[in-house]
């Protein structure tokens, strides 16, 4: 049985910050953000654009664009580290908005940026086991990366969601069920305590934890795993674009068995390999910023919507979640995937976003920190918003969304 990705769609908030302008406002050379981190813009979520809003809009688009009926969905999982409640999952709001069947298995997963990839693998096993009985699974990776204003992590924020439908006989790519590598280790590289809206990161340590997890999960994937030269593309978790370059170098070094130095022929080979197999799929990440669980899948969307790769060609997929957990797996492109390119391409969504001045961005950030408790209203017009399923405040401690009758 072939199992893999049948449909995919991206959604992001309607505003962004220009990274060069942010650098100037912070007294930093713009090239540090644009070249040193590789980021051009970052999506900024206003208080109305929470993860429920992002998840619903991405999943409606996936079902509509690929003509999938709600009755076809047998499992719904939201992978996120930006939960809106300690108990109630975002997934049940999505279930309601999409009108999914009441016997649909529905839950939320969390392990930093690894939560959605863990769900994608699990639902693949659900389908292979036969318990899906021909139904499909909808996985949504939805996150808002939030660090303190003026901190060194500030330029690595972002917001967005990717909805992924996993099924038998998929339209887009197939999972190689024989190759999987995993790694878990208790590290304090990045975390967000219950009392904080903002994440804490030990930035440089987190980069070394990521690279260590890449090495260990790749080695765990075993000898059957294809070498970089046999792969058409290598995708990585992308907290910022430059991280994917560091990851590809590490991947190269793991295969060589030693570190490579700038100025050597091996370094030139790594650079050429990165330019061919990873860099072409990072343009959207550079426009959106870190979207935690969804970052890896945004790079996959970039590949699926713009590549000239052929059916049967293979792609390595590395997921990293701080804390930490990681997986290394292989997907292959299926016959006819190209006909979905235009549908998947999020170019117009990205171009339609409105730029925030740095003063407007700082206002958004200060308002995002305000907590509405029992009752209170947020007006979407204050943020110039036009989309559906916006968070509009609380009534009797219950979150309210435009267009969703909750109670």
Q: By CB under 6 A, what part of segment 212-271 binds ligand HMG? A: 237, 239-240, 242-243
Would you give the distance in Å from CA 177 to the centre of its chain? 22
Rounded distance between C-alpha atoms, residue 51 and residue 142, angstroms: 6
Number of residues in contact with ligand HMG under rule CB under 6 A: 31
Q: Is 204 in the site for ligand HMG (CB under 6 A)?
A: yes
Least distance between ligand HMG and beta carbon 332 (Å) = 26
Rounded distance between C-alpha atoms, residue 94 and residue 74, angstroms: 13
> In the stretch 4-33, what mask flags binding to ligand HMG with x, by CB under 6 A?
-------------------------x-xx-
Q: Are strands 3-11 and 15-18 parallel, antiparallel or unpaired?
A: unpaired
Q: By CB under 6 A, what part of segment 144-173 binds ligand HMG? A: 152-153, 155-156
Angstrom CA distances, 303 to 59, 83, 225, 256, 340, stand at 19, 28, 21, 26, 12
Q: Which of 40, 81, 154, 198 is catalytic?
A: 81
Sole binder of ligand HMG in the list 321, 326, 337, 350 (CB under 6 A) = 321
> Which one of 82-90, 116-124, 301-309, 317-325 is the stretch in contact with ligand HMG (CB under 6 A)?
317-325
Q: Which of 113, 173, 209, 324 is catalytic?
A: 113
Q: Is the peptide bond before 324 cis (omega within 30 degrees of 0)?
A: yes
Q: Report which of 263, 157, 162 is spatially closest to residue 201, judged by C-alpha positions.
A: 157
- Tokens of residue 103, six digits: 């016997």
Rounded distance between C-alpha atoms, residue 365 and residue 89, angstroms: 24
> Which one of 93-101, 251-259, 316-324, 349-357 is the stretch in contact with ligand HMG (CB under 6 A)?
316-324
Q: Which of 15, 111, 237, 248 is catalytic?
A: 237
Least distance between ligand HMG and beta carbon 266 (Å) = 18
> In the stretch 62-101, what mask flags binding to ligand HMG with x, by CB under 6 A?
-------------------x--------------------
> Which one of 116-124, 203-211, 302-310, 383-391 is the stretch in contact with ligand HMG (CB under 6 A)?
203-211
3-state secondary structure of 9: strand
As to burial, measured by CB atoms within 10 angstroms (0-12 exposed, 13-18 middle, 19+ buried), residue 324 is: buried
Q: Between residues 111 and 135, which has the closer beta carbon with respect to ligand HMG?
A: 111
Q: Residue 296 in contact with residue 139, Cβ under 8 Å?
A: no
Catalytic site includes residue 173: no
Q: Between residues 210 and 389, which has the closer beta carbon with respect to ligand HMG?
A: 210
- Give the containing element (helix H, strand E) for 315: strand 314-321
Least distance between ligand HMG and beta carbon 330 (Å) = 21
Q: Report which of 9, 24, 39 is spatially closest to residue 161, judged by C-alpha positions.
A: 9
Q: Is the peptide bond before 319 cis (omega within 30 degrees of 0)?
A: no
Catalytic site includes residue 81: yes
Q: Between residues 59 and 322, which has the closer beta carbon with respect to ligand HMG?
A: 322
Catalytic site includes residue 96: no
3-state secondary structure of 397: coil
3-state secondary structure of 351: helix
Q: Torsion angle, CA of 344/348/352/353, rounded to 10 degrees?
A: 40
Q: Between residues 6 and 81, which has the closer beta carbon with respect to ligand HMG?
A: 81
Which residue in the shown chain puts its C-beta closest to ligand HMG? 36
Q: Residue 155 in contact with residue 240, Cβ under 8 Å?
A: yes
Q: Report which of 50, 18, 54, 11 is spatially closest to residue 34, judged by C-alpha positions.
A: 18
Rounded distance between C-alpha atoms, residue 56 and residue 404, angstroms: 11
Q: Is 115 in the site for ligand HMG (CB under 6 A)?
A: no
Q: Is 201 in the site for ligand HMG (CB under 6 A)?
A: yes
Q: Between residues 96 and 246, which has the closer beta carbon with respect to ligand HMG?
A: 246
Least distance between ligand HMG and beta carbon 87 (Å) = 21
Sole binder of ligand HMG in the list 182, 236, 292, 340 (CB under 6 A) = 292
Would you give the distance in Å from CA 139 to the centre of its chain? 11
Sole binder of ligand HMG in the list 70, 83, 148, 203 (CB under 6 A) = 203
Binding site for ligand HMG (CB under 6 A): 29, 31-32, 35-37, 81, 112-113, 152-153, 155-156, 189-190, 201, 203-204, 206-207, 210, 237, 239-240, 242-243, 290, 292, 320-322
Catalytic site positions: 81, 113, 237
């Amino acid at each position: 049985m072939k199992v893999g990705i049948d449909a995919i769609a991206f959604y992001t908030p309607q505003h962004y910050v220009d990274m060069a302008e942010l650098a100037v406002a912070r007294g930093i050379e713009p090239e540090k953000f644009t070249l040193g981190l590789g980021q051009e813009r970052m999506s900024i979520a206003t208080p109305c654009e929470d993860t429920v809003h992002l998840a619903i809009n991405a999943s409606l688009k996936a079902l509509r664009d690929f003509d999938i009926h709600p009755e076809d969905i047998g499992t719904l999982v939201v992978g996120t580290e930006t939960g809106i409640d300690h108990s109630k999952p975002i997934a049940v709001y999505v279930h309601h908005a999409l009108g999914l069947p009441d016997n649909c298995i529905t839950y939320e997963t969390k392990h930093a940026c690894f939560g959605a990839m863990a769900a994608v693998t699990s639902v693949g096993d659900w389908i292979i086991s036969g318990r899906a009985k021909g139904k499909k699974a909808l996985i949504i990776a939805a996150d808002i990366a939030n660090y303190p204003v003026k901190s060194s992590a500030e330029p690595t924020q972002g917001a967005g969601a990717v909805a992924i439908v996993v099924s038998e006989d998929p339209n887009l790519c197939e999972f190689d069920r024989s190759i999987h590598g995993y790694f878990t280790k208790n590290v304090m590289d990045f975390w967000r305590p219950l009392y904080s809206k903002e994440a804490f990161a030990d930035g440089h340590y987190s980069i070394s934890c990521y690279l260590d997890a890449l090495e260990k999960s790749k080695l765990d994937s075993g000898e059957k795993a294809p070498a970089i030269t046999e792969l058409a593309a290598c995708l990585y978790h992308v907290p910022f674009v430059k991280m994917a370059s560091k990851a590809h170098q590490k991947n190269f070094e793991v295969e060589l068995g030693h570190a490579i130095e700038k100025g050597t022929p091996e370094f030139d080979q790594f650079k050429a390999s990165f330019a061919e197999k990873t860099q072409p799929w990072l343009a959207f990440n550079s426009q959106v910023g870190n979207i935690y669980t969804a970052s890896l899948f945004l790079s996959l969307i970039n590949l699926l919507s713009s590549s000239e790769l052929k059916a049967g060609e293979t792609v390595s997929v590395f997921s990293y979640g701080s804390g930490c957990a990681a997986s290394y797996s292989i997907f292959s492109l299926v016959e006819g995937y190209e006909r979905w390119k235009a549908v998947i391409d999020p170019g117009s969504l990205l171009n339609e976003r409105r730029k925030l001045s740095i003063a407007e961005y700082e206002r958004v950030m200060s308002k995002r920190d305000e907590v509405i408790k029992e009752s209170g209203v947020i007006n979407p017009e204050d943020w110039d918003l036009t989309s559906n399923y916006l968070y509009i405040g609380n009534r009797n401690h219950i979150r309210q969304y435009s267009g969703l009758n909750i109670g």
